């Protein structure tokens, strides 16, 4: 018995390992081939460039004036000027810092979209595992129902049973066959969804064993790492920092702008050359800009606090739900194996100890229990996938 347990454990762990590798293979393909991710990557690359614009001084201004004199004896006048405006020096430093942080946000947004699509792919694979496992079970049920239907057909033709039991056996077989067809339809639908996620390239996925799940024992310690990996919270942290930098930038923009350049003036018999300096006093243009930047910082900080609290509550609920489902699954599986009467029911039917109606009633109870077991296992894996969305 000990040797048998060791062998079974090795087989289960090996199957789970192969399953993990198969899902990893599919996830790698989706990350490479998904058309949405390809478009998002190109959009992100364009935005990275866009965030690097507007960091430099304004374009220089060049002016040329040709003025006709009157009377003609005084000659004509030619003016040339070239001017360059400069913001206060600290403004350029803040703009550059904001640009870098915005580019970090671009990558975080792409990471969020990537993790969302990876989670969607995992959920589709989870559905396929469920329907693959159900399809295997339904095939066995069809074999069993076919044997009974054939047996009662022979009995009916020999006059050993009535039309009611004959019809009942045929209808029961028909129902099982239709259940299998419905399962195949759902499976095909999920395969089509997986193909779409993989950029239209077909994917084979025949696994029928759910991966082994290990839940974090110390939730608070695990959550601290999960929070660091959450691109949404990291994006909001960057947004707070950007808003604080905008406060300093707007304060710098409230300082005078400097203008410097060259000017020349030519008139008959006279020439003037020299430098030009000027100041722009921002008395009205940036009014309330700093006040707005501070208000926005408070708003973003409030949104970040709310998002962190919601994230914590959501993960805590998922962790609690996953733990309950895991306990329910273990208890249900062990008791179902212990009280499985399917073999005894077949013997009782063959020996005439049960009527066909009683046999189907008892067998239906077992089938419903098996389906419920699969449902719990699927629900557990869905919960764990959502729990580890940002891992």
Token code pair at residue 336: 């179902």
How high is the pLDDT of residue 343? 65
Give domain status of residue 15, yes or no: no
Q: How far apart are CA 343 and CA 338, in angstroms?
A: 13
Q: How far apart are CA 131 and CA 229, in angstroms?
A: 32
Give domain status of residue 98, yes or no: yes
How high is the pLDDT of residue 336? 73
- Its domain, for residue 268, covers 23-387
Give the Cα-Cα-Cα angle 284, 286, 289 (nearest 5 degrees). Answer: 135
How high is the pLDDT of residue 342? 63
Give domain status of residue 234, yes or no: yes
Residues in the chain: 391
How high is the pLDDT of residue 166? 86
Torsion 301-303-305-311 (CA) sign: negative
Give domain status of residue 264, yes or no: yes
> Helix or strand or coil: residue 62?
strand
Token code pair at residue 174: 């028909």
With contact defined as beta carbons under 8 Å apart, do 267 and 77 qualify? Answer: yes
Q: In what order do the strands lie in the sheet with 257-267?
A: 61-67, 77-86, 257-267, 270-280
Give domain status of residue 2, yes or no: no
Give domain status of residue 102, yes or no: yes
Token code pair at residue 173: 């077989």
Taking alpha carbons only, the member of 380, 276, 377, 343 closest to residue 140 is 343
Give domain status of residue 7, yes or no: no
* Cα-only R_g, the chain: 37
How high is the pLDDT of residue 20? 56
> Helix or strand or coil: residue 340?
coil
Q: How far apart are CA 223 and CA 92, in angstroms?
A: 39
Give domain status of residue 6, yes or no: no
Q: How far apart are CA 239 and CA 234, in angstroms?
A: 9
DSSP strand pairing (61-67 vs 77-86): antiparallel
Q: How far apart are CA 283 and CA 19, in angstroms?
A: 67
> Helix or strand or coil: residue 84?
strand
**Residue 162 belongs to domain with CATH number:** 1.20.1600.10
How high is the pLDDT of residue 13? 37
How high is the pLDDT of residue 23? 87
| pTM for this model (two decimals) | 0.82
200: left (phi over 0), alpha (psi -120 to 50) or beta: left
How high is the pLDDT of residue 7? 31
Give, as one character, the DSSP assignment of residue 218: S
Q: How far apart are CA 97 and CA 99, in angstroms?
A: 5
Give, as one character, the DSSP assignment of residue 263: E
As averages over each run of 10 residues, the pLDDT of the chain (391 residues) reads: 34 42 87 94 94 85 88 83 87 90 94 94 95 94 89 85 87 92 96 94 91 88 91 92 89 84 85 86 75 89 93 94 92 75 68 71 81 93 92 78
Give the total number of structural domains in the chain. 1
Torsion 186-188-193-194 (CA) sign: positive
How high is the pLDDT of residue 38? 94
């Amino acid at each position: 018995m000990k040797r048998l347990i060791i062998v079974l454990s090795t087989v289960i762990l090996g199957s789970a390992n192969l399953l993990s590798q198969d899902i990893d293979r599919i996830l790698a393909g989706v990350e490479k081939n998904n058309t949405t991710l390809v478009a998002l990557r190109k959009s992100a690359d364009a935005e990275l460039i866009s965030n690097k614009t507007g960091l430099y001084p304004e374009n220089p201004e060049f002016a040329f004036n040709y003025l006709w004199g009157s009377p003609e004896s005084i000659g004509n006048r030619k003016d040339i000027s070239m001017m360059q405006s400069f913001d206060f020096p600290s403004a350029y430093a803040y703009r550059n810092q904001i640009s870098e942080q915005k580019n970090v946000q671009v990558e975080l947004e792409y990471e969020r979209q990537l993790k969302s699509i990876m989670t969607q792919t995992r959920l589709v694979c989870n559905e396929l595992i469920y329907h693959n496992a159900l399809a295997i079970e339904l095939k066995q049920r069809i074999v069993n129902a076919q044997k009974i239907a054939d047996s009662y057909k022979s009995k009916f033709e020999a006059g050993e049973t009535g039309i009611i039991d004959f019809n009942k056996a045929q209808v029961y077989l028909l129902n099982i066959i239709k259940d299998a067809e419905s399962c195949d339809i759902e499976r095909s639908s999920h395969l089509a969804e997986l193909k779409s996620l993989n950029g239209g390239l077909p994917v084979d996925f025949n696994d029928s064993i759910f991966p082994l799940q290990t839940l974090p024992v110390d939730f608070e310690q695990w959550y601290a790492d999960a929070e660091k990996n959450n691109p949404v919270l990291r994006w909001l942290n960057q947004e707070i920092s950007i808003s604080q930098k905008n406060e300093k930038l707007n304060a710098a923009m409230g300082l005078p702008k400097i203008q410097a350049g060259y000017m020349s003036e030519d008139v008959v018999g006279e020439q003037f050359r020299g430098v030009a300096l000027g100041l722009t006093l921002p008395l009205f243009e940036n009014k309330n800009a700093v006040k707005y930047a501070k208000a926005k910082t408070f708003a973003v900080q409030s949104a970040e606090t709310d998002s962190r609290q919601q994230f914590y509550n959501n993960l805590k609920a998922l962790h609690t739900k996953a733990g309950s489902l895991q306990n329910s699954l273990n208890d249900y599986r062990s008791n179902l194996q212990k009280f499985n009467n399917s073999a005894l029911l077949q013997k009782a039917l063959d020996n005439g100890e049960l009527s066909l109606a009683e046999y189907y009633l008892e067998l239906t109870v077992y089938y419903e229990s098996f389906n419920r077991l699969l449902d719990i296992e699927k629900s557990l894996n869905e919960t764990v996938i959502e729990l580890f969305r940002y891992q």
